[in-house]
Amino acid sequence: MVCIVAVIAAIVSYRHAYAVVTQYGESGATAIMIPLTIDGLVYAASMVILHSARIGIKAPPLAWALLWLGILATLAANVAHGWQYGVFGSIVAAWPAVALVGCYEMLMWLVRTSGKEAGQAPPSGRDADQMGVVVYRESVRIGSPISERKLAERFNRSRRWSRAIIEKAGKDEVF
């Protein structure tokens, strides 16, 4: 049901944004693509945040900033579409954007939390070491290195373990 509501809201939100874009002088391919960049920005930022959650690291601040910028842009386009009908027209026109972002982010939450079963045991031994190195290297790659403490907590290990993992990740060792 979340996906159905999101698809309906996306279509209506797109039409509202398209109407605003054409009203302000854009036409052709540009008018078709600008609304896609607005909701596409929300999608792209959410995917980075989802990826970060899956590997257990903090999402980059840029992803959060762009997510909020995309949300504000889609709301603004929808509000602008209804503005000619006053405050209530703007509220009604903004609703699809709210429904789209809300449903999409709930869907992302479902995906992020689906693999986290209660009581799920952390990996053990060599598997934990390999996963720790992968998590740390990925966090460095995206510019948000996971701390020793966070790495230890994620794998239910000691700070000494995480220190060793960070050291291994800094080398070109292959397990």
Question: Would you give the DSSP letter of residue 158?
Answer: -
Bigger pLDDT: 127 or 64? Answer: 64
Q: What pLDDT, in 10s, does the model give residues 71-93?
A: 999 999 999 999 999 999 999 99
Return the domain boundaries, the chain.
2-114, 125-170
The pLDDT value given to residue 115 = 59
The pLDDT value given to residue 121 = 53
The pLDDT value given to residue 76 = 94
Is 162 within 8 Å of 152 (Cβ atoms)?
yes
The residues near 66 (Cβ < 8 Å, ≥ 6 apart) are 41, 44, 45
Q: pTM to 2 decimals?
A: 0.65
Q: How far apart are CA 140 and CA 161, in angstroms?
A: 18
Q: What pLDDT, in 10s, does the model give residues 122-138?
A: 566 678 888 888 888 88
Mean pLDDT within 28-54 = 90
Instruction: Tell me the pLDDT band of 15, cut-offs 50, 70 and 90.
Output: very high
DSSP string, 82-127: HGGGHHHHHHHHHHHHHHHHHHHHHHHHHHHHHT--TTPPPP-HHH
Instruction: Tell me the pLDDT band of 68, cut-offs 50, 70 and 90.
Output: very high
Token pair 């929808």 is found at: 78
